[in-house]
Amino acid sequence: MENTILRLPPGFRFHPTDEELIVHYLKRKVQSLPLSVPIPEADVCKFDPWNLPGDIEKERYLFSTIEIKYPNGKRSNRTTTSGYWKATGLDKQIVMPANKQVLGFKKTLVFYKGKPPKGSKTNWIMHEYKLSKATQGMESWVLCRVFLKKKARKDDEKARPIFYEFIGGPRKFDLNLDGSGSSSSCSSGVTDVDDEEENS
């Protein structure tokens, strides 16, 4: 670690699976066991996503604690300086493939600028991992993966496949490449072959 940024040798990157994050990192954190890779602690909801520790251009992994919004409730306080994190969809169960044991849960959240419920949606995403069964007194620990979702570029729009209507109805495009403009509804646009050559 250098200035809370993980440095790996060229050609290597830290990209664990959901199961690995639960078993090898979050579970060991809760049990106060040493980790193979140091992951910093930060109160995720005390900072805006761009101000969290680590390289803003890459995925950032952070241990955080959950702050309950109301004393007698279970709802989490996810308000930051400039906005709030909003959960989207249902929590995903993280299951051990070998025995189908539920290891934990993954919650997906999107960051909104402004005050709820009229905030403006951003491209900041957070995956929040929690254990299905935590050690007594350590239930509030979660592991967060925070990243900036890349916008679709205009070049990607141009690269989308184009579908042509060949069968039924009027043709939308003429694929005849020889410039004559007359072709059958299933013309491929390749050079025509004489009947004599085709028969031979």
* Tens-place pLDDT, residues 139-181: 679 999 999 998 754 444 445 555 555 565 555 544 455 555 4
For residues 118-133, one letter each, b for 16 or more C-beta atoms within 10 angstroms of the residue's C-beta and e for the rest, the string is ebeebebbbbbbbbee
Q: How far apart are CA 102 and CA 92, in angstroms?
A: 10
Closest CA to 42 of 67, 18, 15: 67
How far apart are alpha carbons 35 and 83 in whole angstroms? Answer: 32
Question: For all residues of the chain together, what is the average pLDDT?
Answer: 77
List of residues 6+ apart from 23 with CB closer than 8 A:
96, 103
Predicted pLDDT at 66: 80
pTM: predicted TM-score of the whole model, two decimal places: 0.68
126 vs 122: CA distance, rounded Å: 12
Task: Taking the CA atoms of 33, 101, 109 and 78 in sequence, report the sign of the dihedral they define.
Answer: negative
List pLDDT tens digits, range 47-87. 999 999 888 888 999 999 887 665 555 667 788 999 999 99
Domains for the chain: give ranges and CATH numbers: 18-151 (2.170.150.80), 154-190 (no CATH)
Q: Provide φ and ψ at 25, rounded to 5°.
A: -125, -60
pLDDT of residue 75: 67
